[in-house]
Amino acid sequence: MKLTFNAEDERFRDEIAQWLETNLQGEFAKLKFRGGPGDEHMFSEERKRWEQRLAEGGWTCIGWPEAWGGRNASIEQQVIFAEEYARAGAPGRVGHIGEGLTGPTILAFGTDEQKARYLPGILNGTEFWCQGYSEPSAGSDLANVRTRAVQNAETGKWEITGQKIWTSLAHESEWCFVLARTESGSVAHRGLGFFLVAMDQPGVDIRPIEQMTGTSEFNEVFFDDAIAADLIGEPGQGWHIAMTLLGFERGVSTLGQQMQFQNELNELIRLARSNGAARNPNIRQRLAEAHTGLRLMRYNAMRMLSDTEDAGSESSALVYKLHWSSWHRNLGALAMDVLGPEAEMLESAPYNLTRMQSLFLFTRADTIYGGTNQIQRNIIAERGLGMPKEAKGR
Amino acid sequence: MDFTFTEDQLAFKEAISRFLKTEVPPEVLRDICDTEEGSTSELRQKMAEQGLAALSVPENQGGLGMDDTAWSLLTQELGYYAIPDSMADTAYVASGLLTALPEGTQQREQLLEMIAEGSIRIAVVHGVNPLVVDLHLADKALVEHEGEVHLVSREQFDCERNTSIDSSRRVSRLNFSASSASKIAGADDGSGVWAETLNRGALAVAGKSLGLAQRMLDLSVDYAIQRKQFGKPIGSFQAVKHKLADVVGGIETAKPTLYRAAYALANGDARADLYVSHAKLACCQAAMVAARHGIQVHGAMGYTWEADLQMFMKRAWALQASWGTAEFHRQRVADDILADGVAIGPQYTFEG
């Protein structure tokens, strides 16, 4: 066990902290603490330019191999980067899907040609990605994907037809990776393919979905004989690739997320002290509980990311989403209670939410997206504890 | 011990329920939320015509003379249909306040008559409820000031209208200076009246919250039956079923606390504060659980603007801290049961 960073890591920390301080200035100063959960719709153009600035500094895709433009950064360094990034209040990443999901997937399953085509755009912050998994009938039951991919006999190109839903940032993205059925008549996780599809083409129609926050961060995406630029891996391998990708989702980005949580908790403590709520014993206890929950999350994430033979680490990964989503939801509810009667008052008409209202409403989604709490518990019980699977209707 | 309602009360509730269901289906609710005021005078007028405005005004002033127990039923209906109107503030809270004032108090009878006719909006302003719904639309405000009752007309006070997380609500703080001219009752009469009024405000919120909880439950049950995943209705999965079972558990256990509190208010029970706080806590809690589990059962759909659920959830959330936060009401319960000389012992266990 080693719970400290070494001298080289600390130098790395100084370097990124310094860089962020120098660069979060001028046109980027207004992006501080913006674009996070519940605020993704704000400043998208400026945040894309920020991605390019990060790239110029060599601060995108730091975990990628050097051969593909990364720094081959260690887990510790990736943790440090995520922490410093959030500590500085640097804006929510528009490039996180490409960097964290598409890139690692292409690195793991793509050909050299595919790597050469797609990785530079992600690295440079010039091409952004969205994730085409969920469908109206494939939410918790993700394997129930109905979007079809048919290979055109003349051109050899795969053509995609179907509907995706809850697609975050589709309207800001050049590319979408799409899980689609390559084998007609196949069911569940068999017969799927993993496709890369350009969003700017006639066969793709993007319609925003209005959230209960009054904003639109996610979309419905309709594919009508849209042409896929590439298939990753082989037809039929889609489910395996998709699941591997979801594993990347639990990676180091969680540490940055925790730093955002810490920022939110700090803000809430500041509010409670200023409006007198912090004198209320019940609120005090709940703030203390929130603080404790966040530390638990941090240690658990560090342990999860440790390269260890510890038999518990698999379980620690399985329980992680359930823990943070529930914690964050409770923080949102606590924020409303700290504010008391004023909690309902909007920042301004017609429907501009305060930061705490955004937090509260957005956290209602945390226990749903990326696998609901109920699905998480099933996974913990079935995969973690080896319990029998729940009966399905097919 | 008898928790049943009279036939008159039940018949009235049924009639109002049918009326609200027809008048304010979710699509109409959305349209009203989109208006500048988040409410309409047409709906207000129609509700008055149904007898809601006159419900608890004394018969001498042209009212129906029904008491708090009738309101414990009707506020649930107002909540169930998320009626975007502050009718209960005038017809129940303000009317109750005026009725409790000594006969002959300046403007008392006249105002009660106007309430019964549905021709006036009266807002009630109390320190426990600093953000008042539709204050800017009120013709008059009844204001608590050091235990006294002050009556002010709209032109005599300022208020800044704020929008709410609930699209139908417009809330304001009152700006006005109390004077001997605005005083209609001194602290001698006022203190008791205000204690009762605070309880009525809290009870109205409790009833509406409970109605909202029931609506969210009904929507969620429908959704869980109709939505299929893994080849089955999601309602067939225990994880989903149990969530909704917890919701109905919260609602059903809260309901008698609401009725108990209404009965205490109607009968001038000395421990009304305690019973009302029970009701406010239990009903708001039931609504919060219904909102939380309701959205979870609806999945991502529940997070959209398009799904009706969000309107009911936001109302429930906004009401949570209205007429006393949970902390305030827990404190009142604690103050009662921890007081010196409190009636605790085997002989009191099931009293009240």
Across the interface, of B166, B228, B296, the residue whose CB is closest to A368 is B296
Do B326 and A337 lie within an 8 Å CB cutoff?
yes
Which residue, A42, A68, A94, sits at the end of a domain?
Answer: A94
Residues B217 and B203 in one domain: yes
Place of tokens 């009120």: B138
Do A344 and B229 lie within an 8 Å CB cutoff?
no
Query: Which chain B residue has the Cα nearest residue A346?
Result: B164
Query: Which chain B residue has the Cα nearest residue A213?
Result: B305
Rounded Cα–Cα distance for residues A147 and A145 (Å): 6
Residues A16 and A68 in one domain: yes
Q: Which carries the bigger pLDDT value, residue A218 or residue A313?
A: A218
Assigned domain for A31 exists: yes
State which H helix or E strand residue B299 sits in. none
Residues B148 and B262 in one domain: no
pLDDT at A4 over 90: no
Q: Return residues 320-349 of A near B (CB < 8 Å).
A: 329, 333, 336-337, 340-346, 348-349
Check if the beta carbon of residue A235 is closer than 8 Å to that of residue A183.
yes
ipTM score for this prediction: 0.91
Across the interface, of B296, B310, B318, the residue whose CB is closest to A372 is B296
Q: How many domains does chain A have?
A: 3
Supply the pLDDT for residue B341: 83
Assigned domain for A319 exists: yes
Rounded Cα–Cα distance for residues B348 and B328 (Å): 25
Q: In 3D, which of B96, B106, B109 has the Cα closest to residue B152? A: B106
Q: Is B152 helix (H, G, I), strand (E, B) or coil?
A: strand
Q: What is the pLDDT of residues B202-236, one digit of tens each?
A: 999 999 999 999 999 999 999 999 999 999 999 99
Do A340 and B239 lie within an 8 Å CB cutoff?
no
Check if the beta carbon of residue A388 is closer than 8 Å to that of residue B228.
no
Whether chain A has a CB inside 8 Å of the CB on B338: the answer is no
Residues B294 and B150 in one domain: no
Q: Which amino acid is at A113?
A: E
Q: In 3D, which of A241, A129, A119 has the Cα closest to residue A179? A: A241
Rounded Cα–Cα distance for residues B85 and A323 (Å): 40
Q: What is the pLDDT of residues B79-135, one digit of tens each?
A: 999 999 999 999 999 999 999 999 999 999 999 999 999 999 999 999 999 999 999
**What is the largest distance, in Å, between two alpha-carbon atoms of chain B?**
72
At B261, the pLDDT band (50, 70, 90 cuts) reads very high
Check if the beta carbon of residue A35 is closer than 8 Å to that of residue A42.
yes
Supply the pLDDT for residue A303: 81
Residues A275 and A322 in one domain: yes
Assigned domain for A80 exists: yes
Supply the mean pLDDT for chain B.
95
Q: How many domains does chain B have?
A: 2
Q: Which amino acid is at A378?
A: N
- Mean pLDDT, residues B275-295 taken together: 98
Whether chain A has a CB inside 8 Å of the CB on B167: the answer is yes
Q: In 3D, which of B285, B313, B286 has the Cα closest to residue B298? A: B313
Domain that holds residue A34: 7-94
Q: What is the pLDDT of residues B187-201, one digit of tens each?
A: 999 999 999 999 999
Lowest-confidence range among A162-176, A230-244, A290-304, B238-252? A290-304
Residues B159 and B130 in one domain: yes
Assigned domain for B348 exists: no
Do B163 and A390 lie within an 8 Å CB cutoff?
no
* Residues of A identified as active-site: 249
Residues B68 and B199 in one domain: no
Residues B250 and B226 in one domain: yes
Rounded Cα–Cα distance for residues A90 and A101 (Å): 20
* Closest Cα in chain A, distance from residue B300 (Å): 6
State which H helix or E strand residue B144 sits in. strand B140-145
Residues B143 and B239 in one domain: no
Check if the beta carbon of residue A367 is closer than 8 Å to that of residue A374.
no
* Closest Cα in chain A, distance from residue B341 (Å): 25
Which residue, B138, B170, B189, sits at the end of a domain?
Answer: B189
Q: What is the pLDDT of residues A191-206, one digit of tens each?
A: 999 999 999 999 999 9
Do B327 and A283 lie within an 8 Å CB cutoff?
yes
Q: In 3D, which of A31, A99, A114 has the Cα closest to residue A64? A: A99
Do B163 and A348 lie within an 8 Å CB cutoff?
yes
Assigned domain for A16 exists: yes
* Chain B residues near residue A139 by CB distance under 8 angstroms: 229, 299-300
Which residue, B137, B172, B189, sits at the end of a domain?
Answer: B189
Alpha-carbon torsion angle B316, B318, B319, B324, nearest 10: 140
- Mean pLDDT, residues A305-311 taken together: 59
pLDDT at A310 over 60: no
Supply the pLDDT for residue B343: 76
Residues B173 and B271 in one domain: no
- Sort B115 into a burial class: Cβ within 10 Å, 0-12 / 13-18 / 19+: buried
Supply the pLDDT for residue A252: 64
Residue A128 forms beta bridges with which residues?
A: none
* Chain B residues near residue A137 by CB distance under 8 angstroms: 228-229
Give the CATH number, domain containing residue B62.
1.10.540.10
Q: In 3D, which of B9, B139, B23, B125 has the Cα closest to residue B82? A: B23
Assigned domain for B141 exists: yes
Residues B134 and B229 in one domain: no
Residues B185 and B199 in one domain: no
Rounded Cα–Cα distance for residues A127 and A95 (Å): 8
User: Percent of chain A having pLDDT more than 90?
Assistant: 77
Give the CATH number, domain containing residue A339.
1.20.140.10
DSSP for residue B66: -
- Plot region of A236 (φ>0 → left; ψ -120 to 50 → alpha; else → beta): left
* Closest Cα in chain A, distance from residue B144 (Å): 18
Residues A37 and A152 in one domain: no
Do A346 and B163 lie within an 8 Å CB cutoff?
yes
Residues B300 and B322 in one domain: yes
Give, in degrees to the nearest 5, the angle at Cα B298 between B294 and B301: 130
Q: What is the pLDDT of residues A60-91, one digit of tens each?
A: 999 999 999 999 998 889 889 988 998 899 99
Rounded Cα–Cα distance for residues A28 and A90 (Å): 9
Q: How many CB pairs under 8 A join A and B?
A: 121
Residues A210 and A265 in one domain: no
Check if the beta carbon of residue A207 is closer than 8 Å to that of residue A220.
yes
Which of A171-174's residues contact partners 24+ apart within 8 Å by CB, and which partners? A171/A206, A171/A208, A171/A219, A172/A44, A172/A48, A172/A94, A172/A128, A172/A130, A173/A97, A173/A128, A173/A129, A173/A130, A173/A199, A174/A121, A174/A127, A174/A128, A174/A129, A174/A198, A174/A199, A174/A200
User: Percent of chain B having pLDDT more than 90?
Assistant: 94
Domain that holds residue B65: 7-189
* Chain B residues near residue A283 by CB distance under 8 angstroms: 327
Assigned domain for B352 exists: no
Do A344 and B305 lie within an 8 Å CB cutoff?
no
At A311, the pLDDT band (50, 70, 90 cuts) reads very low
Whether chain A has a CB inside 8 Å of the CB on B350: the answer is no
Which residue, A44, A78, A94, sits at the end of a domain?
Answer: A94
- Mean pLDDT, residues A249-258 taken together: 71
Whether chain B has a CB inside 8 Å of the CB on A119: the answer is no
Q: What is the pLDDT of residues A222-239, one digit of tens each?
A: 999 999 999 999 999 999
Assigned domain for B346 exists: no
Check if the beta carbon of residue B72 is closer than 8 Å to that of residue B258.
yes
Q: Which residue out of A219, A339, A374, A387 would a mutagenesis test of the B interface target, given it has the greatest number of B Cβ atoms within 10 Å?
A: A374
pLDDT at A1 over 80: no
* Chain B residues near residue A335 by CB distance under 8 angstroms: none
Assigned domain for B349 exists: no
Whether chain A has a CB inside 8 Å of the CB on B130: the answer is yes
